[in-house]
Structure 1
Amino acid sequence: MIRAAIEIADADGPGSLSLERIAAALGVKAPSLYNHFSDKAEILAGVARSIVMETPRTPAPVGGDWKQWLIESSVRFRETLLKHSRAAPLVVEYFPRGLLEKLYAEHCLVLAAANVPTNYQMFILEATHRMTIGAAMCVATGRPAMAPFANPDQFDDQLNESMQQGNWSDAKLFTEMLRVFMDGAEADYSRRELQLDQPS
């Protein structure tokens, strides 16, 4: 049933997910769906959970390279969302919180093993999660990275030149955005630790 609902959402978007259409895809009557789910919201939550669960797991880093590991994990999640781009808004609305909390707990262990301070762990994970969701939604809703201006003559040469530098694809923008953020977070907690170690 969930697979049928995902296929409908992938084809025509979340707005097409009526009980009648899901039932028709399964060759049953709509009321029979209530034998498995209490209401439509539970079906939508099941769709969101199933899509999230498709994300391949990234093995824990060897040698403590938590930044590259977290970038790879985020890239895999973004790619999963984009495989279901028309259903991505549904995943955001019905994101399985219990699953996210379990994932956060596992990821905190990895960050702790890499000596990331406890007070930075959830900050890094939540920020990365939000950037991943936002980046996927931009692509899913048809807003490409660094799209050329429709009327470049309205802007000065410096701005137009900046837009043309770097050949920013959506994938490159996403990974570099994460990398700069994580480098900044690492630099910040390293600086704070250094200040604490210095004699007063």
Structure 2
Amino acid sequence: MPRAGRPASPLITRRAAADAALSLIDSGGLDGLSLQAVARVLGVSAPSLYHHFRDKEELLTQVARCFLEEIGHQQERWSDDWETRTIELSLATRRVALRHPNAAPLALRFFPRKLMLPAYERSLVDCPYPPQFHAVILEAVEKFTYGSALFAAAAEAHHTPAMPPVDEAHFPYLASAIAAAPASDEDLHVEALRALLDGFRVRYGPRQR
């Protein structure tokens, strides 16, 4: 039985504080975030948070961790096919970044690479290419995914289009490319990733006889 005068469970957990911080970032951006603001949301005193986080930087690291965990929870089941699963994970990353555009830069600034090690390992278990190419494949897919997702999130955060209006008279080739592009930005993301995956197949797959 808990002692009189003490709550049965802690009023603050690292996860609850990170969730509160993420909500504040979503609504007001990174500049307005403070431990005091998080404490107000949780209904506790600011000094209480220092029992869980040394400073704001450590809190933001936990927010980045929550961001990445949200990506992993986008689907109950991921495809058994390596290429399809790679596309699913890339799309999940983009969708989470667009859901939290103000917080998306934290995924790079406080990237918890140690947290990603199991995901890297799983992605290589059934990778269809020889091991000497795995590091290159990880590098290419990860950098494409986060680069694309963060560019999209930045546009969303600043309420600007991913591509500004293009004057056909001055930029005829670019205007033509945009007109012929996939219908949505998400479709464009998938098609670009498919082109990258096709490149792996050509460069690293079995030689055509």
> How far apart are 1:22 and its partner, in Å?
1.1
> How far apart are 1:175 and its partner, in Å?
0.5
Alignment of 1:132-147 (within 5 A): 132-142=145-155, 144-147=161-164
1:186 matched residue in structure 2: 201
Alignment of 1:162-173 (within 5 A): 162-173=177-188
> For the Cα contact (< 8 Å) 1:66–1:110, is it kept in 2?
yes
When normalised by structure 2's length, the TM-score is 0.80
> For the Cα contact (< 8 Å) 1:145–1:169, is it kept in 2?
no
CA distance in 1, matches of 2:164, 2:83: 28
Give the length in aligned residue pairs.
186
> For the Cα contact (< 8 Å) 1:48–1:94, is it kept in 2?
yes
CA distance in 1, matches of 2:109, 2:202: 34
Alignment of 1:32-181 (within 5 A): 32-55=48-71, 56=73, 58-61=77-80, 65-111=81-127, 115-142=128-155, 144-149=161-166, 151-155=167-171, 157-181=172-196
After superposition, give the CA deviation of every residue in 1:91-129 in whole Å (9 maximum; x if it has no partner): 221111111122101111121xxx311122222122111
CA distance in 2, matches of 1:110, 1:194: 20
CA distance in 2, matches of 1:60, 1:182: 16
Larger CA deviation: 76-85 vs 157-166: 157-166
More helix by share: 1
Q: Which consecutive unaligned segments of at least 5 residues does structure 1 have?
A: none
Q: Which consecutive unaligned segments of at least 5 residues does structure 2 have?
A: 1-16
Secondary structure, in 3 states, of the residue corresponding to 2:165? coil
The amino acid of 1:116's aligned partner reads Y
What percent identity do the matched residue pairs reach?
Answer: 37
The amino acid of 2:201's aligned partner reads E
CA distance in 2, matches of 1:88, 1:13: 11
The CA RMSD measured in Å over matched residues stands at 2.1
CA distance in 2, matches of 1:119, 1:78: 28
1:5 matched residue in structure 2: 21
> How far apart are 1:177 and its partner, in Å?
0.9
Secondary structure, in 3 states, of the residue corresponding to 1:59? coil
CA distance in 1, matches of 2:92, 2:55: 31
> Which among 38, 42, 67 is matched to residue 22 of structure 1?
38
CA distance in 2, matches of 1:11, 1:87: 10
